[in-house]
Structure 1
Amino acid sequence: MKRKLEQYETPFITQISFHKLIESLERIAQSNVDYRANYAKALLKEIEKLPQFRSGIKDLSLIEEHQDLIKNLLADLFPTALTHNEIKAVAVPFHNITFNYTERFKKILDDAGVDFDMNIRDFEDDLFYIMNCCLILNDYYKQNLDFNNPLFYDIPDRNGVMKHYRILYNADFVEIIPTADAIPLTQEDIDRLIDNFDNIALWKEKFPMGSWILKGFGIVQLFDATTESSVSTLKTNLLKAADNHDEQLEEDFQSIFRSIFRIPDLKIGLTIFDPEEQKFIRPNTSKKNLQSLILDEAEEAECGKKLYDCFFKCVIKDHQVFIISNVNHFAEKKGNELFAIHLSSQNIQSCIMAPIVKGNELLGVFELASEKPRALNSINANKLDLILPYLVDTMSRYRMDLQNQIEAIIQKEYTSIHSSVYWKFRKEAQKYLRNSGEPKEYVFKEIVFKEVYPLFGEIDIKGSSEHRNQTVKLDLQRQLDTLIEIIESLKSNANLMILEQRKFELESFRRELDLPLKADTEQIMQRYIESEIHPIIHPQNAPEESKALIKKYFEKIDEKTGMFYHARKKFDNALSKVNKKLAAVLDEKQVEAQQIFPHYYERFKTDGVEHNLYIGASIDPNKPFDKIYLNNLRLWQLQTLCEMELVHHQMKAELPYHLEVTSLILVFSSPISIRFRMDEKRFDVDGTYNARYEVVKKRIDKAYIKGTQERITEKEKITIVYSHTQEKKEYLDYIKYLQFKEILEPEVEQFEVEELQGISGLKGIRVKVAHQHPTSEPA
């Protein structure tokens, strides 16, 4: 007997009583049917000795002492012929007090084990209290409240598979009686309760604890609803957010499918199908908990591999379920051997692979596996009909989410539409969708932002072209020296005039590298080496003393270029590291800058990092714009470039190749217009007048100080180029502020910029960044 009278708070004083059943027996005893009357009289005679059976049992030990009598008393309600079929017991509604089990119920509890505690699923204290109150409202106050949500017991079987049983109550033998402490309710009180289901304090106020008597007994009957309940739970889990697919959720899925198929060792797996590349792909590769029977440990695989020949047509082409009930028998058929070994290595002896198809498109393959032969077969494979529709929706949603993520990455990394201007693109897209005519006839409106102030800045690798040329020459010199050494070793073993000629040509190329590098030098030498030298230095045709040299040479060759790539690799790695770090600093600071006033931002990695900012009322028409926001952004830009200079200074020692940087800001105080170029998928200045700004941007970083051969930019210094006296005053104020903060050094240089083609009157300010700035932190 299960008994837990004090498990929950309740408005009831519970009295288990058979008084209604006894009254029924008394009527039968007075009937004219002798065998029924005699049976009833005999039972009543036994019950007379136990007045508590009528008045109410408070000591539950009395039930255990008189189990046989209770069984006879309830014989009409618990037919012996059905005891091995029905799952039935006497119970107090909503309480875990049960007794007089049918034989099938007993077996279920025995299989669950002695430690199993039978509790109603998701039945919290407050819900229990309110449902007891609803019972009173329906029975005593004659309301018609529908509070009978499905209730379930979750009970494991002897193999540990969780089974789910729907609970049905029969309360025909229950009587609800108010005590002196019961509070009489008006209809207004009842209406208030009905409108406040979640207000537990109100329910306890109107139905105080122990203010009502629950007298009698109920009959609980269970129905095995494992499949239906598991499918419902599966639907709930599949609707959870995609980023919630953690290990716990994966375990839940496995438990659900074990319940549905009633296989304790059942494993589930999923493999994504990529139709474009005809590949199997593991879903959510950042997590290893999601299995794939098809891939095992691999992240992806070509569908056309011989390994998958045995099921390719069935699953991929015909979209049919593929079933292997016995892997060992499956292996006996020619063509199945490889996949049978693949499954056996995963300790799989039976499996089902079900294609997940939407329309006529294969989205993926859902997999079920067991360590036991014939545990999965063509019979229980029919249960997939209940599951696959939900998996199809989930996989379709997964693919759509994946495509959205891919599009977001492409937009962020390749064709970014900055968040500050995204609203205008969205507005135009909404107009397109609302267009009443044919969408193809809709002419997209150009995206233009007028009267915006531009800010341009860059931090550039000083002398990057010279550095790159120097590393190219160094790699070519080393490659030619190595080839000359190999030719020398071959000459000593073969009297071939061609080798003497090749050596002469290589030495000619080597002398050419002492001169400035021409644009096509590398390509000419590469073609010559590949066509004339490599064919005559194969290791298999070389003497023993030359083989080691030749092998070492080919090990140094870059697979992609066929050339030495050592000095250039150091340079490229250093450049990439500097660009990545400086771009990360700029992007991080940009998040803060957007708080000043929303503005358009874009940056580019070249031989350094450059950025464009545009700020103005048209960028965000919902916020009032003031030029103070422009001033704030200019100060932010200057300070951010200083921080980027500091970061570079701190990382120089870690670089594989020594690189210096120069920094430049172009000040332009006249507002311009920018237009989104549909063909180029990027913003550009709009109009002839505004084009002057772009011309200055492209030419200024290579300019010289007027009357000198000195570049306006210099390592470890910030150069600010401007046109008007007011701009000079503004930036000198910013410099003073940053000098006060010990970010910039005290000395300030001022100069005129040489005349550029079609541009004159530019001036410059140059100031050094204080690399020992006390607040700077190591990169």
Structure 2
Amino acid sequence: MNYNLFSESPFKTEISFHKLIESLEEIAVSDIDYRAIYAKSLLKEIKHLPELKTGINDLTVIYENEELVKNLLSDLFPTLLTHNEIKAVTIPFQNLMFNYSELFKKILKNAGGAFDITIRDFDADQYYIMSCILILNVHYKQQFDITKPLFYDIPDENGITKHYRILYNADFIEIVKTNKAPELSSEDIEQLIDNYEDIALWKEKFPNESWILKGFGIITLFDATTESAISNLKSNLLLKEDNQERSNPKFEKIFRSIFKLNDIRVGLIIYNEEEDKFIRPPYDNDDVKSFLLADHSEMTCSNAFMDCTIAHVVDQQKMLSISNVAHFAQTEGNEKLGEHLLKQNIKSCIFAPVVKSGKLLGIIELVSTNIRSLNSVNATNLKLVLPFVIDTIERYNVDIENQIEAVIQREYTAIHSSVYWKFKKEVEKYLKSSNKNKDYIFKEIVFKDVYPLYGQIDIKGSSEHRNETVKEDLKNQLSTLLNIIDRLNLINNVPLLEQLKFEMQSYYNELSLELMADTEQQIQAYIQKEIHPILGNEKIDEDNKVLIANYFSELDSKTALFYHSRKNFDDAMSIINKKMASILDHEQKEAQQIFPHYFERFKTDGVEHNLYIGASIAPTQTFDTMYLSNLRLWQLQTLCKMELEHHRLKSILPYELDVTSLILVFSSPISVRFRMDEKRFDVDGTYNARYEVVKKRIDKANIKGTKERITQKEKITIVYSNDYEEKEYLKYIKFLQFKKILEPTIEQFDVQELQGVSGLRALRIKVCNTDVPDEAYSYEDLLKEIN
């Protein structure tokens, strides 16, 4: 296998098991006897190979000690799972792998000895830049997203390409800077952010082999064949018809992956309702064939060969599967279709109607040269792809109608309806030959027509507070060390101590400025490497030893830094989040009684929640928009309770933090689907994405024409788009004002334009800082109050 996939890399790779060995050394001195015995035995076994810990450059060391390496990794590669997990040791993004699980070995063996496993659509520049981003995230504490899904495409023993999603575990890797690596400023990092495609710039900032990648990673593969094949199908259908990449073999390869059959051929015909006939799709070079039409370009549904069996597909719009065409052809009434298929060496087949809103759009054809390869059981797999074919044909029909109308208007001006069809037919021929179709859009829906509700209670200025506590702890630690160094210098009068004092004072002065991304790491490294070794000198007198011991007792065990102000801040954050989440969870139990709905919440710097309500989520119950109104009132009341609870907590928090509350109103029903790779629900479709865009950006928005944030402490901000939404929420607000839950003053203002979104408005209202009644009011209570 070729593991030197790319000639250049910012990394010099050293395979090392040092983190794993250090862990074994800790276990060896633990109180757990059986674990300690196991660890000691393993450490003894690897003692003669110190390079396992110091670093390996020659891979023959691994291959010559394969069994020993396997034993060393046994905790990470359990024997009981080796036939179920697709797993190996690797270096991320590189083609180096060893210590394969048995299932991984089997997959590679079935692929064939000459098969060289490589990441799909991954070139040298992508590898280099992703490696650099890894350095930015780890060493410079950036948070760049490098979660682009990566895949291996591996054929099985039948020649069917399977698609495996790649997951990396880098817990056992560390990144070490060398003298060849220039130190990056914040301006350098900003420049890289704005120039992702500039490979020369990335190589300038991260020269070849200027960093050391030490350790090992673990790669785990998941069989995502069906999901990946469907994704490829969507991408293929989105290509314009004049794109030469769009071809029947590509479609067949996708369907073969979905059905796990290597001899499937695919056909498609489009139904022209106006003329009651089937036609070929208007693609050049006969890319998409039709086995029903065979050599014909079109055929009326009344044609003799469209016998009663095909009528079953056309009239009743039901799928037809024939597992044995020869046997099928012997049944009376099926002879013509059976002969037609057998002439094309078709032994089994599936014909599925493409239907949208009860309207037949076409027929998709799957055929095989083997008996029973296609049947009524695996025909259900077509349900996975039919939505995309439906959207494609529908988009084509709409597009072709628009083009026909445009050409007629351009070439013939207004045409009388009685002869319109003639011109239309001519234009259709023109469009087919000129191949002028536009792109298509696809949707995949799980829950349709649901109403979203989004709310959050956010800790105000959390990032600024966090930075201030970091600076305060660092200042206190530096002050303590300066005092110690002063005392030591009085006794010893060593010039080095004066130098250290100067350097620490410089760091202290830096902390009066804005905190940089790597300031904490720089100071931490300086203290550990330059200061702490001096404090361990045996010649220090007893009084100063006591002072130094008190200093070390103040350090956090993990970071060796002061953790006082940050602990107060972290504790305060944790208390607020825990309390807010518990209120939301408790109130949510009652909300489910209003009408069953999907609910999820997230703890970040505060607590966010999403709700989706609609008939598709609870199809056995009758949905009414009154339930939506009830849920909106419930949401507003719940945020009031959370705001009040925070007000009660403020006096006992170890660090004073304020919160802001926000509700986003979105009255149009949307579609949501579950994403398997992230294990969460998300909105579906281009139009619905507007809701997600607003949701992610709105809490940082300002009031239009000002620099004032739309959210303020102790107030709830309600963002909306339409007058009827404003009217609805004003009713809720006035009702809760009457109940002494909200204060009398209501603020109304426009929200600044967000990227791609404009026209948002907002209401802002303060929560009363008195006890909110425990009683929860319903929409019916509001109506009674109004009436």
Q: When the two structures are superposed, what TM-score results if normalisation uses the length of structure 1?
A: 0.51
* 1:335–1:59 Cα change, 3 Å: same
User: Distance between the aligned counterparts of 1:46 and 1:317, measured in 2?
Assistant: 74
Q: By how many angstroms is 1:412 displaced?
A: 6.2
Q: By how many angstroms is 1:330 displaced?
A: 2.1
Secondary structure of 1:146's match? coil
Matches within 5 A, 1:641-680: none
The residue aligned with 1:377 is 375
User: Distance between the aligned counterparts of 1:168 and 1:399, measured in 2?
Assistant: 41
Secondary structure of 2:306's match? helix
The residue type paired with residue 204 of structure 1 is K
The residue type paired with residue 394 of structure 1 is T
Q: Which deviates further from its counterpart, 368-377 or 87-96? A: 368-377
The residue aligned with 1:97 is 96
The residue aligned with 1:152 is 151
User: Distance between the aligned counterparts of 2:330 and 2:27, measured in 1?
Assistant: 71
* 1:236–1:13 Cα change, 3 Å: same
Task: Say whether 1:61 aligns with 2:60.
Answer: yes
Q: By how many angstroms is 1:411 displaced?
A: 5.0
Matches within 5 A, 1:218-617: 218-244=217-243, 246=244, 249-284=247-282, 287-407=285-405, 410-411=408-409, 414-415=412-413
User: Distance between the aligned counterparts of 1:273 and 1:199, measured in 2?
Assistant: 49
The residue type paired with residue 109 of structure 2 is D
Q: By how many angstroms is 1:408 displaced?
A: 5.4
1:611-666 CA-partner distances (Å, limit 9, x unpaired): xxxxxxxxxxxxxxxxxxxxxxxxxxxxxxxxxxxxxxxxxxxxxxxxxxxxxxxx
The residue aligned with 1:174 is 173
1:40-85 CA-partner distances (Å, limit 9, x unpaired): 2222112111111001110011111111111111111111111111
Q: By how many angstroms is 1:264 displaced?
A: 0.5
User: Distance between the aligned counterparts of 1:144 and 1:403, measured in 2?
Assistant: 48
| 2:118/2:152 contact within 8 Å kept | yes
The residue aligned with 1:500 is none
The residue type paired with residue 239 of structure 1 is L
The residue type paired with residue 79 of structure 2 is T
Q: By how many angstroms is 1:93 displaced?
A: 0.7
1:71-112 CA-partner distances (Å, limit 9, x unpaired): 111111111111111100000011000011111111111111
The residue aligned with 1:77 is 76
The residue aligned with 2:744 is none
Secondary structure of 1:287's match? helix
C-alpha RMSD of matched pairs (Å): 1.9
* 1:367–1:225 Cα change, 3 Å: same
The residue type paired with residue 154 of structure 1 is D
| 1:279/1:302 contact within 8 Å kept | yes
* 1:400–1:61 Cα change, 3 Å: same
| 1:310/1:339 contact within 8 Å kept | no
User: Distance between the aligned counterparts of 2:179 and 2:5, measured in 1?
Assistant: 22
Q: By how many angstroms is 1:223 displaced?
A: 0.4
User: Distance between the aligned counterparts of 2:101 and 2:242, measured in 1?
Assistant: 46
User: Distance between the aligned counterparts of 1:66 and 1:280, measured in 2?
Assistant: 66
User: Distance between the aligned counterparts of 1:119 and 1:57, measured in 2?
Assistant: 23
* 1:38–1:231 Cα change, 3 Å: same
| 2:346/2:367 contact within 8 Å kept | yes
The residue aligned with 2:547 is none
The residue aligned with 1:215 is 214
1:431-458 CA-partner distances (Å, limit 9, x unpaired): xxxxxxxxxxxxxxxxxxxxxxxxxxxx
1:211-253 CA-partner distances (Å, limit 9, x unpaired): 1100000000000111111111111111111222x47532211
Secondary structure of 1:251's match? helix
User: Distance between the aligned counterparts of 2:283 and 2:88, measured in 1?
Assistant: 50
The residue aligned with 1:34 is 33
The residue type paired with residue 96 of structure 2 is I
User: Distance between the aligned counterparts of 2:203 and 2:197, measured in 1?
Assistant: 12
The residue aligned with 2:51 is 52
User: Distance between the aligned counterparts of 2:182 and 2:234, measured in 1?
Assistant: 43
Secondary structure of 1:75's match? coil
| 2:241/2:284 contact within 8 Å kept | no
User: Distance between the aligned counterparts of 2:114 and 2:250, measured in 1?
Assistant: 22
The residue aligned with 1:16 is 15
| 2:354/2:363 contact within 8 Å kept | yes
* 1:168–1:113 Cα change, 3 Å: same
| 1:303/1:312 contact within 8 Å kept | no
User: Distance between the aligned counterparts of 1:67 and 1:139, measured in 2?
Assistant: 31
The residue aligned with 1:618 is none
Q: By how many angstroms is 1:405 displaced?
A: 4.7
Matches within 5 A, 1:609-648: none
Q: By how many angstroms is 1:3 displaced?
A: 4.8
| 1:247/1:289 contact within 8 Å kept | no
The residue type paired with residue 377 of structure 1 is N
Secondary structure of 1:335's match? coil
1:364-404 CA-partner distances (Å, limit 9, x unpaired): 11111111122122222222222111111111122234334
User: Distance between the aligned counterparts of 1:324 and 1:408, measured in 2?
Assistant: 43
* 1:286–1:239 Cα change, 3 Å: closer
* 1:351–1:98 Cα change, 3 Å: same
| 2:312/2:318 contact within 8 Å kept | yes
User: Distance between the aligned counterparts of 2:399 and 2:309, measured in 1?
Assistant: 29
The residue type paired with residue 235 of structure 2 is T
Q: When the two structures are superposed, what TM-score results if normalisation uses the length of structure 2?
A: 0.51
1:682-740 CA-partner distances (Å, limit 9, x unpaired): xxxxxxxxxxxxxxxxxxxxxxxxxxxxxxxxxxxxxxxxxxxxxxxxxxxxxxxxxxx
The residue aligned with 2:121 is 122
Matches within 5 A, 1:706-717: none
1:433-488 CA-partner distances (Å, limit 9, x unpaired): xxxxxxxxxxxxxxxxxxxxxxxxxxxxxxxxxxxxxxxxxxxxxxxxxxxxxxxx
The residue type paired with residue 393 of structure 1 is D
The residue aligned with 1:635 is none
| 1:29/1:38 contact within 8 Å kept | yes
Q: Which deviates further from its counterpart, 190-199 or 22-31? A: 190-199
Percent of aligned pairs with the same amino acid: 57
User: Distance between the aligned counterparts of 1:81 and 1:163, measured in 2?
Assistant: 25
Secondary structure of 2:374's match? coil
Q: How many equivalent residue pairs?
A: 415
The residue type paired with residue 318 of structure 1 is Q
User: Distance between the aligned counterparts of 1:385 and 1:415, measured in 2?
Assistant: 43
Secondary structure of 1:111's match? helix
Secondary structure of 2:147's match? coil
Secondary structure of 2:365's match? strand
| 2:239/2:246 contact within 8 Å kept | no
The residue aligned with 2:87 is 88
User: Distance between the aligned counterparts of 2:358 and 2:160, measured in 1?
Assistant: 36
